[in-house]
Amino acid sequence: MAIIIYAGLFILGFIAGLIYFWHMWKSIGTYGANKSKILSSMIFRAPVVIAAALLGYVVAKFEGIIAVLIGFTTFQIIFLVKKGSQLKKELEEEALKEENLEKIDSKD
């Protein structure tokens, strides 16, 4: 029975991470590098994680909070690795394009 409860809380934390980081990435896409607007949009993201942790506490006390946070952290790691590799690929492609442009300019 305890495994089902903790697995459910883990999934709850994972879903909270999904909502949190999806909204964060959407905010970055909308506002660009405007830090004040991105931070103000955090007002809508933070309660999701807090509510998930509180629900974890109500269901399974301290261990419930830990299960929710492990789920959230798992999603965070997956998200950051995925987006980091995507950004690295985009930077490499951009650097290659600039290098090719420099070669073309130097030939002229």
Each residue's pLDDT tens digit, 73-102: 999 999 999 988 998 999 999 989 888 888
**Domain chopping of the chain, boundaries:** 2-82
CA distances from 72 to 18, 31, 66 (A): 8, 24, 10
Q: Which SS3 state, helix, strand or coil, does residue 108 take?
A: coil
Q: Which tens digit of pLDDT belongs to each residue from 23-72?
A: 888 877 777 767 777 777 788 888 999 999 999 999 999 999 999 999 99
Report in angstroms the alpha-carbon separations of 22 from 4, 18, 25, 35, 44: 27, 6, 5, 17, 12
Residue whose C-alpha is closest to residue 49's, from 32, 24, 30, 29: 24
- Quick one: tokens of 98? 């600039």
Output the pTM of the full model. 0.80
